[in-house]
Amino acid sequence: MNDSERSMEADQQFDRSFELLHQLVNFEDANELFAQRAHTVYTACVVLWMLVYQRLKPDASLENAVKHLIDTRPSYLPENKRLDENTISTASGAYSRARSRLPLEVVRWFAEEVSSGIISATEPTFNQQRVFLIDGTTMALAPEKELQQAFPPASNQLGEGIWPCALLTVFHELASGAAMLPQVGPMYGPEAVSETQLARQGFEQLPEHSIIMSDAGFGIFGVAYEAINAGHDILLRMKKANFHSLQKNAELIEQSEHHKSYRHTWIPTKKNRQTQPELPADCQCDVFLHEVKVTDSLTLYLVSTLADEAFTLAALFERRYDVEIDICNFKVVMDAENIRAKSVDTFMKELYTSVVAYNLTSQLRIEAAAMEEVRPRRMSFKRTWTTFQTFLLRHMHTEPSQWREAYRTALAIARKDKLPIRGKRRYRREAYRKRPKDAQFEKRKKPPSKLKDSDLK
């Protein structure tokens, strides 16, 4: 391929990248879902973008968002005399009221469109199936009365705390790292839910015939049955005791020095039926059980509906830990853990637009990885996020030609945001033990180094 052909291919790549991004951030369809009076400045699409802007720049206040809107004048702003005469107020009151009026269903629709658009543009991970990693996490919210009632704070023998605590179950696509909308519920209080309950509620939103992969906390009959019943395959890790209880009645079909595989018809126990009384009387799951010795100190106990061999599934399961990095990127890098909304409605809107902001950054990472011919997760999420903020966010969504040029520049920079290839960890992870209160401010001392034989001579 000569230089001109490479240049033409690069231009086509930029065009595809721009068109997809243009599609993902095109909010004008929202105006049809939530129609308002003519010449209204804060239409649905304007409010949506301002919400995303604030989540992409967590330090941006409502006033910052309003001034940024006035400064950039995006093309989808309606015709308005105050805008033409530059007499529109820079106060945040009108935007705040418009944000409250915007229905949560419109924000949810928008977030789902962005998620499904990004995920459908990436190649499936395993056997032409998409793999979704599920895990649980918590978020502490602002100490407001409405939030405390919806998400009661934790309590102990000394009383109740003040920080509302929301429990989230997240669904992240393995190849792209893109996130579906999380399922949210109270962690404490009379209506508290578990991670597994929230997981079961979210299976319907996943693409058909996906693979659901999770750690041992979700490796129970209820999760497996609901996932299979929703038309998905499973690859779940199980606790050792639970695995051996199934293994006793399973049929051994293959074994070697480092693994054993079984075929089994999984039926719910008495305890399963107590915790899930809605299970049908005749429910069961036809599964494979795999006991795989990874190292001398680590054995994986897996249950799956996939007919692949044990070591192939064990290699796939090793990538489950990517979801923990994704959660860290979402909560820490994107600062979603510091949502300070004062009502449940606003909290959910900001949570959903945080997912949009996360996915837009993931999309830029996907395109940069494609140009480098590496997997998206090889690119640094944090550095890609910084690139997105610096080269794209300041322009908002103005004319397509401007977006195309800005996106071209951002992609060129994002291509350099690659993580180094690190060797496998050669030492066990260790955690510092909790200190007694009388010594918690003392400086930690390094353990004495081992003497070499040459030091003794």
Tens digit of pLDDT per residue, the chain (457 long)?
454 554 454 444 434 433 444 556 555 677 777 777 766 778 888 888 888 888 877 677 888 888 877 777 666 677 777 766 777 777 888 888 988 999 999 999 989 988 888 888 788 888 889 999 999 999 999 999 999 999 999 988 888 889 999 999 999 998 888 899 999 999 999 999 999 999 999 998 899 899 999 999 999 999 999 999 999 999 999 999 999 999 999 999 999 999 999 999 999 998 889 888 888 989 999 999 999 998 888 899 999 999 999 999 999 998 888 888 888 888 888 888 888 899 999 999 999 999 988 888 887 777 777 777 777 777 788 887 777 777 666 555 445 566 666 666 777 777 777 777 766 655 555 655 666 656 655 655 655 655 455 544 4
> Taking the model in full, what pTM does it have?
0.78
Beta strands, E only, 161-284: 165-173, 183-186, 211-214, 233-237, 251-255, 259-266
Burial of 116 (0-12, 13-18, 19+ CB in 10 A): middle
Q: Using CA atoms, how far apart are residues 438 and 432, in angstroms rounded to an integer?
A: 16
Do β-strands 155-156 and 211-214 pair in parallel, antiparallel, or remain unpaired? unpaired
End-to-end CA distance of the chain: 64
Q: H-type helices in 248-378, by residue range?
A: 270-275, 310-317, 322-328, 344-372
Q: Using CA atoms, how far apart are residues 284 and 305, in angstroms rounded to an integer?
A: 12
Burial of 376 (0-12, 13-18, 19+ CB in 10 A): buried
| DSSP letter (8 states) at residue 439 | G
165: which strand partners?
140
What phi and psi values does residue 440 have, to the nearest 5 degrees?
-70, -15
Question: Is residue 223 within a helix (H) or strand (E), and if so which, with residue range?
Answer: helix 221-229
What phi and psi values does residue 27 have, to the nearest 5 degrees?
-95, 0
Residue among 229, 206, 236, 20 nearest 124 (CA): 206
330, two tokens:
């979402």
Q: Is 305 helix (H, G, I), strand (E, B) or coil?
A: coil
Q: Is 282 helix (H, G, I), strand (E, B) or coil?
A: coil
Count how many Cα atoms sit within 13 Å of the Cα of residue 267 in the half-sphere of its side chain.
6
Whose structure tokens read 């006991």? 291
The pLDDT of residue 16 is: 44
The pLDDT of residue 250 is: 94
